[in-house]
Amino acid sequence: MNWDDLRIFLGVARDESLSAAGRRLRIDPATVSRRIARLEEQIGTVLFAKSPQGYALTDAGQRLLDHAQRAEQAVMAAGEEIAGQAAGGLSGQIRIGAPDGVANFLLPQVCARIHADNPDLEIQIVALPRLFNLSRREADMAVTVSAPTAGRLLVQKIADYHLHLAATRDYLASHSPIRDLRDLKDHPMVGYIPDMIFDKELDYLGDLGAGRLAYASNSVLVQFNWLRMGAGVGIVHDFALPSAPEIVRILRDSFSLTRSFHLVRHQDDARLDRMNRVAALLTDGIRREVTHLEGELDKMSQAADPELYT
C-alpha cells in the first residue's frame, strides 16, 4: 500500500470533499479522485460513500482510517528523527485552534515569543467561536474551556482565569448607579447570542438575572468592542482589560467567575517530540501570560481605586 495514496485518503476523510482535500494537499481534484479509485481497486473495497453532503467513510474506510493515521504519525516521527529536530530549534507548521478571546488577547504575544526562539516555525492561529475536530486535523492542537471527555485525545489543564462584570467609566458616570446585581436590570447588557453558545462554560449571563441582552454576538472581540464604545455592561476576561483601561470592573465583591483553559491534542501526537515541545511551550506561555495580565490589572485597579485595597 502506497503512503502517498494513504495521505490522499486521509485528506478526503478529513475534509469529506475532493476539492477541499485537493486544496489542502495542493493536488487537483481529478487527481485526488483517480488516486482514491486506485486505492479502492488495490484493496478491493469501497472506502467512501458519495452523497450531496460530500464523501463519507464506509465501514471499510473507517477501519482503514485508524491504520492511515498511525502511518501518518510514523512518517512524521521518522521525519523529525532524521532531521534532528529533537536537538535543535522547532520548524515546520503548527496550527492552533482557539476561541477568539484566547486568540486575540493571549496567543499573539505567546506565539510571538515562541517564534522568536524558533524562527523556522510557522505558527497559524485559527480563531473561531466553536469546538475543533482534531481527528480531521482542523488544527494540530486546540485551547478549550471545557475539557473533552470523549475521543482519543490528550487533555492538559493550562490555567484558571477570571471574569468580572465591567463597563466604561464614561458609561457608569452617565447612567443610573449599579450598587448591586439587582440594578443590572436597568442597564443594557452585552453578551453571547444565547443559541450560539458552543460551550456551557460560556453561558455567563444565564443565572445572573441581569437586564435585557441589548447587544449580542458569538464573538468575544465584538462584545469587547461594544463595551469599549460604552454600549452597556458585560462580562469580561480579566486578562483582556489591561488593553482597555477605559473599561473597569464593577461589583467585584458580588460577582466573579473562574474558568479554566485546557490544551487538547490528538492522542497519537504524544509520540512526536516536536508536538510535545510545542505543547509545553504553549502551555507555559499561556499560563504565564494570564498571570502577568491579571496581575497588571490588579495593579491598575489599585492605582485607580486605592481605598479598595486598604
Q: What string of pLDDT tens digits covers the 310 residues of the chain? A: 778 888 888 888 888 889 988 888 889 989 999 999 999 898 899 999 988 888 988 999 888 887 887 777 777 666 665 555 444 678 888 999 999 999 999 999 999 999 999 999 999 999 876 665 655 667 889 999 988 887 778 999 999 999 999 999 999 999 999 999 999 989 999 999 988 887 888 888 876 766 578 999 999 999 999 999 999 999 999 999 999 999 999 999 999 999 999 999 988 788 788 889 999 999 999 999 999 999 999 898 877 765 443 3
What are the residue boundaries of the structural domains of the chain, listed by start? Answer: 3-83, 90-159+260-295, 161-258
SS3 call for 275: helix
Grid cell locating 44? 478491493
Q: Treating both helix axes as pointing N-terminal to C-terminal, what angle do 29-43 and 18-25 enclose, rounded to 10 degrees?
A: 100
pTM, full prediction? 0.73
Q: Which CATH class is domain 3-83?
A: mainly alpha
> What is the rounded distance in angstroms from the CA atom of residue 5 to the CA atom of residue 3?
5
User: DSSP per residue over 276-298, as a string?
Assistant: HHHHHHHHHHHHHHHHHHHHHHH
Please give the sequence-ordered ranges of beta strands (E in DSSP) within the chain, or none if there are none.
48-51, 54-57, 92-98, 121-127, 141-144, 153-168, 189-191, 213-216, 233-237, 247-249, 257-266
Q: Which CATH class is domain 161-258?
A: alpha beta
**Does the fold of domain 161-258 match that of domain 90-159+260-295?**
yes
> What is the rounded distance in angstroms from the CA atom of residue 177 to the CA atom of residue 264?
43
Q: What CATH superfamily classification does 90-159+260-295 receive?
A: Periplasmic binding protein-like II (3.40.190.10)
